[in-house]
Chains A and B, each alone.
Chain A
Amino acid sequence: MSAAIDSKPILRLSTAGSVDDGKSSLIGRLLYDTKSIFEDQLQAIELASVRRGSDVVELALLTDGLRAEREQQITIDVAYRYFATPKRKFIIADTPGHEQYTRNMVTGTSTSDLSIILIDARKGVLPQSKRHAAISALLGVRKIVVAVNKMDLVDFSEARFREIESGFPMAASRLQLSDVVFIPISALLGDNVAERSANTPWFTGPTLLEFLEEVEIPSVSVELGLRLPVQYVIRPDQDFRGVAGQIEAGSISPGDRVRILPSGRETRVAEVRDPDGPAETAVQGQAVVVTLSDHLDISRGEMLVSPTDLPSDASTFEAVACWMHEKPLRAGARYLAMHANRVVPVEIVRVESRIAIEELSDVASDHLGLNDIGKVVVRASKPLYFDSYKECRATGSLIFIDPGASVTVGAGLILGALEDSSRSPSAELVQVSGGDFDLRREVSDAIVRHLGSHQVSAVFLDETVLEGIVASEAIAPLAAFIWRQGIPVVMSLVNEEPVVRLSRFDGALGGWREVMAVEQGSNAEEAAQRFFNEPWSPAI
């Protein structure tokens, strides 16, 4: 086999810079100097350069894509470029530096190990550079190369380079960028890109390409137990039932005990197969098929996890949202969240703040507009099992999908679980309606007792409590009024239905939440218990 067995992992990098900082030239230069450009492509851009009246071959034209963009002479989306040296294969996510900047940056950076931030030596650090650094840090990129470009236009001045270098780390250190490297280059002429420059004798660091070839990307900072989200179930016949997926954290071997979420059942691993057949063990980053010793009914979206190191399991969580749609994100909005091979209806409980990305400071805001990044509280219709994005990108990330148009409208980086008010009865407003008076009373009492056992003392309201003073139609508005003062209320209402219905009002969601029926003759105590324990399911 010609390729080296011990070849380095692919390096996935993203580039960004303000318009005209020389990003296209740099990428063109990297492709050209690594001989990743073919003669016919080179001829095509030579021709195009001549047509544009340019006297040098514009390497920038190599990375120039769609026709409309070519006409406007701009790039407007993330484009992926490929080059390789004998040492390593590289994938560049090339993100343009103008409108839609944040959306594209976040998208390109989401799959990257490293960011190259381009700075024009004449202009120095711009707000855009800081924004790029901040987004990289936010998305968990551990290595940043600051390529100080157009050094030829500042006479390869060391003083200028050092000035930019010392101007940068302040922002960088606040972002906890453990590893920021500065390299003086000329993308146009090639200095310190692939070839060491004779013009910068004062620079002792590696060339850009040398650095990229050698850089080690630190693996995740936190070692987690097994996370294996189920992608697909392979069931060729009655006897074989294998769950297929990619290991996102930890490892798996035959004999291991695993827990299956959401059911919580535990079993042992019978067999582990990788793409080449049965395997003794498989680790993070591998595609596997796993069979279990019990014949459990498992489907896509469930997750196999280590019983000794469980992920969070909660419906309400805090996340950083990166908004990518013209229609802003606001409290009460409903989306579908795609997370770890599941699609789950969610609602935005509230927008906590918008992040001013250049300073990484929080700004009060009740919405996130296109290209905004901010903190939000999200509640899912059923519990998600997740890790924080910091701990595990795959189980800590999600996308928001518009349930109508089906388009992706935003990205979410999970920060952590929040006190799950759907399961801890706090400021509740419960309506008990229908049935007959006795059953309503019985169920209402049971609910008040249930809340009491959670240290929540609720006010009970029905037409008898305020007999003679308040008409029964006034119960609901009165209950809502008391409840809005922060006092939990259980109210009993007459209506035509034969069975008692329980409904819960949820402040955060701003609407009635579903509903449970209690049959005549059933145990009120049990009904109350069940009402609070069952996960709610809003109709979306």
Chain B
Amino acid sequence: MLSTTRPAHQKSSIRIGNALESSREQLPSHLHELETEAIYTLREVAGQFERPALLFSGGKDSIVLAHLSRKAFAPGPIPYPLLHIDTGHNFQETLDFRDWLAAQTGANLLIRYVQDSIDQERVQEETGPLASRNALQTVTLLDAIKELRLDAAIGGARRDEEKARAKERVFSHRDVFGQWDPKNQRPELWRLFNGRKQPGGHFRVFPLSNWTEADVWEYITAERIAIPSLYFSHEREVFRRDSTWLANSPFITLLPGESLERRIVRFRTVGDATCTGAIESRASSLEEILAEVLAARVTERSGRADDQRSDAAMEDRKRQGYF
């Protein structure tokens, strides 16, 4: 299987916000606490598991995780690989950023492709104009976990993202089928994370459980963390669908009545290009993004077309082992 650390060609895909004088400012105490807690969790993963990996999507949460991983193990390297489940429907900027970050951190980047799962007929591609590969990722991910014999997969999910996640553990146990049983989760006390398991099971670990979207942006701003340029406002060819702006891309089929136009937009999440909505925004610095986030009146996930399909969409995917 392909593993790549190819250097980024399009440097413009990476943005560190506006350059700021010094880096070693003291973090506000709530961010300091969240950082400490996440570092503790990452070290527990490295200490308790034999074959962990960090699920790296190229989105801001996984970028923050990579940043925290560097801080947790400095001056040593990150002691686990980054694993990207590539839907094949990515924004080019995300892929460039991914490769740049892997090269930067010296981390081992592993990529597994949803396309391979489709070719191997492990999954059936959705058809029609609303087709998305988000749901298919589950199978590719579980296959990768099995193939790489991972015992822990670190993810950037946060409890504030969706109601179904509010009860999620930091160390979340998955059975042999990668399934999450909401009725049979272990009580999680203090910071004593129980990572013991039966053969075949694995853990999803969520070091950012207690972070909110605002915390993530405040942290990115305070730490001047590089993020894909998609998060900053830019002009892009978009069209209107279900009250969000979707980007034009080779993976998109326009429906009758939909038409392309150029708008100044940015993305609040970067996922599958077929269903990740953009918002109209002129926020072009981290400070402006942060101000926008703090004033936002809709959740970041509201831009995800597939989440709106069903109220319990998230929970269904979770049961299937998506997160």
Nearest A residue to B26 by beta-carbon distance?
A: A5
Complex Cα distance, B28 from A129, in Å, reads 36
Is A341 interfacial (CB-CB < 8 Å)?
Answer: yes
Which residues of B are found within 8 Å of A38, using beta-carbon distances?
296-299, 302
Is B309 interfacial (CB-CB < 8 Å)?
Answer: no
Closest chain-B Cβ to A24's Cβ sits at a distance in Å of 12
**Which B1-55 residues have a C-beta within 8 angstroms of A?**
24-26, 28-31, 33-36, 39-40, 43-44, 46-47
Complex Cα distance, B33 from A492, in Å, reads 61
- Interface pairs (25), CB distance under 8 Å: A1-B221, A3-B31, A3-B218, A8-B30, A9-B29, A9-B33, A38-B297, A65-B167, A79-B167, A80-B166, A80-B210, A82-B159, A106-B189, A231-B47, A234-B75, A235-B76, A240-B75, A275-B72, A277-B74, A300-B47, A399-B189, A399-B190, A406-B197, A407-B186, A408-B189
Which residues of A are found within 8 Å of B29, using beta-carbon distances?
6-10
Complex Cα distance, B73 from A232, in Å, reads 9
Complex contact B315–A324 (CB within 8 A): no
Q: Which residues of A contact B (CB under 8 A)?
A: 1-10, 38-41, 44, 62-68, 76-82, 84, 88-89, 91, 94, 103-104, 106-107, 110-111, 231-232, 234-236, 240, 242, 244-246, 273, 275-277, 285-287, 289, 300, 324, 336, 338-339, 341, 343, 393-394, 397-399, 401, 405-408, 411
Chain B 162-200 near chain A by CB (<8 Å), digits 1 or 0 = 011011000000000000001101111111101011100
Complex Cα distance, B222 from A428, in Å, reads 63
Complex Cα distance, B192 from A399, in Å, reads 7
Which residues of A are found within 8 Å of B31, using beta-carbon distances?
3
Closest chain-A Cβ to B165's Cβ sits at a distance in Å of 9
Complex contact A63–B296 (CB within 8 A): no
Nearest A residue to B182 by beta-carbon distance?
A: A66
Given A1-B222, A38-B302, A65-B166, decide whether A9 and B30 contact each other with a Cβ distance below 8 A.
Answer: yes
Q: Contact partner of B212 among A7, A63, A82, CB < 8 A? A: A82
Complex Cα distance, B307 from A44, in Å, reads 13
Chain B CB within 10 A, most for which of A3, A234, A393:
A3
Complex contact B299–A41 (CB within 8 A): yes
Complex Cα distance, B33 from A111, in Å, reads 13
Which residues of B are found within 8 Å of A231, using beta-carbon distances?
40, 43-44, 47
Closest chain-B Cβ to A60's Cβ sits at a distance in Å of 13
Is B125 interfacial (CB-CB < 8 Å)?
Answer: no
Complex contact A397–B182 (CB within 8 A): no
Given A38-B298, A82-B210, A89-B215, decide whether A65 and B164 contact each other with a Cβ distance below 8 A.
Answer: yes
Nearest B residue to A80 by beta-carbon distance?
A: B159
Q: Contact partner of A411 among B75, B76, B189, B311, CB < 8 A? A: B189
Complex Cα distance, B44 from A343, in Å, reads 13
Is B130 interfacial (CB-CB < 8 Å)?
Answer: no
Complex Cα distance, B313 from A44, in Å, reads 14
Complex Cα distance, B66 from A119, in Å, reads 45
Given A80-B209, A244-B73, A343-B196, decide whether A67 and B189 contact each other with a Cβ distance below 8 A.
Answer: no
Nearest B residue to A70 by beta-carbon distance?
A: B312
Complex contact B76–A234 (CB within 8 A): yes
Q: Which residues of B contact A (CB under 8 A)?
A: 24-26, 28-31, 33-36, 39-40, 43-44, 46-47, 71-77, 159-160, 163-164, 166-167, 182-183, 185-192, 194, 196-198, 209-210, 212, 214-215, 218, 221-222, 287, 290-291, 294, 296-299, 302, 311-312, 315
Which residues of A are found within 8 Å of B77, using beta-carbon distances?
236
Closest chain-B Cβ to A231's Cβ sits at a distance in Å of 4
Q: Contact partner of A324 among B164, B187, B197, B311, CB < 8 A? A: B187
Complex contact A39–B167 (CB within 8 A): no
Q: Contact partner of A63 among B74, B166, B215, B221, CB < 8 A? A: B166
Chain B CB within 10 A, most for which of A2, A62, A286, A405:
A2
Closest chain-A Cβ to B34's Cβ sits at a distance in Å of 8
Q: Contact partner of B210 among A91, A324, A339, A401, CB < 8 A? A: A91
Closest chain-A Cβ to B284's Cβ sits at a distance in Å of 16
Complex Cα distance, B212 from A89, in Å, reads 10
Complex contact B218–A110 (CB within 8 A): no
Complex Cα distance, B189 from A104, in Å, reads 10
Complex contact A275–B187 (CB within 8 A): no
What 10 pairs across the A-B complex have the smallest Cβ distances? A236-B76, A406-B196, A79-B166, A275-B71, A7-B28, A234-B76, A231-B43, A110-B189, A89-B30, A287-B39
Complex Cα distance, B197 from A5, in Å, reads 41
Q: Assuming A242-B75, A246-B36, what are 14 further A-B pairs, CB within 8 angstroms?
A: A4-B28, A5-B26, A77-B182, A78-B167, A79-B167, A84-B214, A232-B47, A246-B40, A275-B71, A276-B24, A285-B36, A287-B43, A300-B47, A399-B190
Which residues of B are found within 8 Å of A324, using beta-carbon distances?
187
Which residues of B are found within 8 Å of A82, using beta-carbon distances?
159-160, 210, 212
Complex contact A81–B215 (CB within 8 A): no
Closest chain-B Cβ to A199's Cβ sits at a distance in Å of 30
Which residues of B are found within 8 Å of A3, using beta-carbon distances?
28, 31, 218, 222
Complex Cα distance, B188 from A407, in Å, reads 11
Complex Cα distance, B43 from A275, in Å, reads 12
Complex contact B76–A39 (CB within 8 A): no
Complex Cα distance, B30 from A6, in Å, reads 10
Nearest B residue to A107 by beta-carbon distance?
A: B187
Which residues of A are found within 8 Å of B74, using beta-carbon distances?
234, 273, 275, 277, 289
Complex contact B192–A398 (CB within 8 A): yes
Which residues of A are found within 8 Å of B26, using beta-carbon distances?
5
Nearest A residue to B212 by beta-carbon distance?
A: A82
Which residues of A are found within 8 Å of B33, using beta-carbon distances?
9-10, 285
Complex contact A397–B189 (CB within 8 A): yes
Closest chain-B Cβ to A442's Cβ sits at a distance in Å of 45
Complex Cα distance, B287 from A88, in Å, reads 20
Which residues of B are found within 8 Å of A9, using beta-carbon distances?
29-30, 33
Which residues of A are found within 8 Å of B25, using beta-carbon distances?
1, 5
Given A1-B222, A66-B167, A286-B36, decide whether A39 and B298 contact each other with a Cβ distance below 8 A.
Answer: yes
Complex Cα distance, B299 from A62, in Å, reads 14
Complex Cα distance, B194 from A405, in Å, reads 12
Complex contact A406–B194 (CB within 8 A): yes
Given A2-B291, A232-B47, A286-B36, decide whether A103 and B299 contact each other with a Cβ distance below 8 A.
Answer: no
Complex Cα distance, B212 from A244, in Å, reads 27
Complex contact B194–A408 (CB within 8 A): yes
Which residues of A are found within 8 Å of B28, using beta-carbon distances?
1, 3-7
Which residues of A are found within 8 Å of B191, using beta-carbon distances?
111, 394
Complex contact B72–A244 (CB within 8 A): yes
Complex contact B290–A2 (CB within 8 A): yes
Complex Cα distance, B215 from A120, in Å, reads 35
Complex Cα distance, B197 from A336, in Å, reads 13
